[in-house]
Amino acid sequence: MKKELRKVVIAGNWKMNMTPSQAKEAVKATAELTAGKNGCDVVLCVPFVDIAVAAEAACGTNVKIGAQNVHFEEKGAFTGEVSTSMLKEAGAEYVIIGHSERRQYFGETDETVNKRTKAALAAGLKVILCLGEVLEERQAGITAEIVSMQTKLDLAGISAEDLKNIIIAYEPVWAIGTGLTATPDQAEEVCAIIRNVVAGLYDTAAAEGLTIQYGGSMNDANAAELLSKVNVDGGLIGGASLVPEKFAKIVDAAQA
């Protein structure tokens, strides 16, 4: 499959920002600024408490709403966690799983990422599965090994059919929130490695159909060049997604 035939997805990751009332305004503004920009899917992944209000504000627009995590159990004694059915009923269509901040600060492992991903897919949610190397790993020259291992472990036991509802976000941890961006060539190189691993796990068609985003300080100034790379099919955007005007410019850059 050619790059032009793959789905380009520009997703915002608001992280722990925006109260429900702020979310409502930001979703409305984003929807207005990105109206008719059908060259990519537009997603905003918001805090749990914002999902319902964000979904209502996004209704009838081209903005889709996602969550930033989900638990793998359906219900029970898991204080502080949220289930797939809760997300769906609140209006989420997407969920980010395995973000480096979850891995770094909240004990997320490839095993729990895999379990959460399976639960989300079983519930009919689309998954934005994040992986990427830390600075020490890049400096040690083991980026390819690290992302290959993460790809294999995170996708373990997931069918080719379910893979169609997964987006992989390659996010070099050293580039997240730091203002340091991977160069377009670095992003391309690692996204191609991931696609190659997926081809080995499934087949060429599955790998060619997979949307692979880049994430890590993507902004309105660098998006076009990153998105021009053949294996970069979109972006997962943190900081710049909080400002609708900046986020909309990234969506514009994805229209080509």
Q: Catalytic positions, please?
A: 99, 171
Q: Is 238 in the site for ligand PGA (CB under 6 A)?
A: yes
The number of angstroms, rounded, from the C-alpha of 178 to the middle of its chain's C-alpha atoms is 18
CB 62 to ligand PGA: min, Å: 21
Closest separation between CB of residue 144 and ligand PGA, Å? 21
Q: Which is nearer to ligand PGA, 31 or 130 (CB)?
A: 130
Give me the helix-helix angle, 143-154 and 184-201, nearest 10°: 40
By CB under 6 A, residue 187 contacts ligand PGA: no
Q: Which stretch binds ligand PGA (CB under 6 A): 25-33, 156-164, 225-233, 237-245?
A: 237-245
| Piece in contact with ligand PGA (CB under 6 A), picked from 62-70, 85-93, 185-193, 238-246 | 238-246
Among 51, 125, 191, 236, which residue interacts with ligand PGA (rule: CB under 6 A)?
236
DSSP classification of residue 60: T
Helix (H) or strand (E) holding 25: helix 20-34
108 near ligand PGA (CB under 6 A): no
Query: For the stretch 83-111, what's the b/e string if a residue is b when 16 or more beta carbons lie within 10 angstroms of its beta carbon?
Result: bbebbbebbbbbbbbbbbbbbeeeebebe
Quick note: the x/- pattern for ligand PGA over 193-222, rule CB under 6 A, is ----------------------xxxx----
Nearer to ligand PGA, 112 or 181 (CB): 181
The DSSP code for 39 is T
CB contact at 8 A, 235 and 7: no
Task: List, in sequence order, every beta strand (DSSP E) within the chain.
Answer: 9-13, 41-45, 63-67, 94-97, 126-131, 166-170, 211-215, 234-237
Contact residues for ligand PGA, defined by CB under 6 A: 13, 171, 176-177, 215-218, 236-240
